[in-house]
Structure 1
Amino acid sequence: MVSLNSDMGESFGIHSFGNDDALVSLVDTVNIACGYHAGDPVGIHETVRKNLEAGVTVGAHPGLPDLVGFGRREMKLFPDEAADIVRYQVGALVAFLKAEGGQLDHIKTHGSLYGMTSRDSDLAVAVAEVAAEYEVPIFGIPNSEHEKAAEKVGVPFVAEFYVDLGYTAEGGLIVARRPHATPVDEARQRAHQALSEGIATAVTGEQFPIRVDSVCVHSDTPNAVEIATLVRSVLDELKLSIAK
């Protein structure tokens, strides 16, 4: 079975961001911003409550400490710094989960931290060790340092696929600074190809094998609800949806 996940809780104070409310009924699990790249205490708490009430599992989405850049500008970090950045944010989310009677489901790093840990083995291991402390899986790019670190540390790994982002020929993600709509036909083709054939196509045309345990749809893209609905229909068609 393949889950559908989305990044949520990326608003800040009175400033609304993303399509969270409309996506809750479509997804199986969410990755909630923990305050460093987005999110504030009240917003985190509200997002936790809404998802738990809907029967959606909740994971942490820790990012780089860069609100202005939305965590999408790389930083130079030592592994112990990366671990503590993640540990600090996960601890905050766990506090709100405890307040609502929920449990942490997983850890998935955000933005540039996600990209950095996919390439740097030391940083990836640092994050995996925090996941081991909480005894939860990490989400990441298959065959990258994400997966290697999970295996090394001994935590479960969930291989992600993105229908709303492009890939390089090496299997890396192409993340834009600003969200943009993904053409529905393009998203459908990506989803079908990955889920039924185990293949992804790079923006330059090369194809490479892909393993999919979970499909991510970003909540901040303009047509996120349409794309998530499409992915759900493909999962249902292929009989891959998780029973609720």
Structure 2
Amino acid sequence: MSSTEPLAGKTALVTGGSRGIGRAIALRLAADGARVGVHYAGNETAAKETVDAIEAAGGSAFAFRTELGVPGDADALWAAFDEHAGDDHGLDILVNNAGIAGPGLIHEVEEADYDRVFAVNAKAPFFIIQKGLDRLRDGGRIINISSGVTKVAFPGMTSYAASKGAVEVLTLTLAQTLGSRDITVNAVSPGTIETDIHPWMADPAAKAHAARFSVFNRVGRPGDVADVVGFLASDDARWVTGQNIDASGGSGLGL
């Protein structure tokens, strides 16, 4: 194994890997030597750009599309993965990154919206993991992307925060369940990250307000999260499991 490519020979899957944090994670894992499956739900152009960027840098990747949050989504995802992965369907690193926002105070949340948020953010990762365990090699890594909104009260994001809380409990439980196979299971909780899903950051005043939550007085960048995932995916993190790593730039420490 090359010291500059700690994940050489490994295969990774990143759900929601075409944009934002997911794209940065896919790029980081590929830079570390992994072959990366870039899952996406709808933006084929962005997924192709991610694969092209990985290959231009000398890495290996493939993209495939499936919808999450619908009946049979995990089966469909693994079928698509198998179709594009080639002869070897084994997996070493699974990053459950795909998620959707669910704003609204409790009295504003419609049942259908609640069900959709939980179907994508909590149910999909559960069954993706369950149905992927026969592909995940011993000594593998599962990394679930949670959120800093589980740390403090965000009344305007009640259903979203609850769905991410479910992911954190799942992480803790699976860390014990899968320890006998030397599989580590961890979560990463970003704070406010500057991506194209936050168009409100185009307003300098709004961005400056968000920056003040961090002790570094800036909003996060996708790479800030991807680098933590890269560590957890590596052998350096072999003794770390069942943890939720805060990657929020110290957001809320003074609250």
Larger radius of gyration: 2
Higher relative contact order (CA 8 A, sep 6+): 1
Query: Into which bin does the TM-score normalised by the smaller protein fall?
Result: 0.3 to 0.5
Please give the TM-score of this superposition, normalised by the length of structure 2.
0.38
Structure 1 length as normaliser, TM-score?
0.39
Q: Which structure dedicates a bigger proportion of its chain to helix?
A: 2
